[in-house]
Amino acid sequence: MKENNAKKMSLISLILMIFTSVFGFTNIPRSFYLMGYGAIPWYIISAVLFFIPYAFMMAEYGAAFKDEKGGIFSWMKKSVSIERRRVCSAYRC
């Protein structure tokens, strides 16, 4: 039996990649400057209501289309109509 020695991405790496691509670390100091410590509960709420479900959604897409090389655009090509793909391309989903 062959042993799979391929490197795999850790969960923390995946979470940080999704977080920085959607929110970005540059927004954190600005939010803290404008809101002070009141920004911390908003970070927690946004993580629970947006980033965690988004991470699950992207992980599901990655598992469903693991042979595709184009990311979200390949996923959209295989799963929705041309009109919806245009909207996604226009708004950089």
Name the domain count of the chain.
1
| pLDDT tens per residue, range 15-72 | 777 777 777 767 778 878 888 888 888 888 887 888 788 878 878 877 877 777 767 6
- Whether 3 is covered by a domain: the verdict is no
For residues 92 and 44, which has the higher predicted lDDT (pLDDT)?
A: 44
Q: Are 52 and 36 in contact (CB under 8 A)?
A: no
d(CA 58, CA 61): 5
- Judge whether 82 lies within some domain: yes
In a domain, 1, yes or no: no
Q: Is residue 46 part of a domain?
A: yes
Q: 36 lies in a domain? A: yes
- Average pLDDT (72-78) is 73
Global pTM? 0.48
Rounded to 10 degrees, the C-alpha dihedral 14/18/19/21 comes to: 130
Report if residue 5 sits inside a domain: no
Q: What is the pLDDT of residue 20?
A: 75
- Residue 56 is assigned to a structural domain of this protein: yes
Per-residue pLDDT at 38: 87
**Domain-located, residue 35:** yes
List the domain range (segments joined by +) for residue 27.
11-91
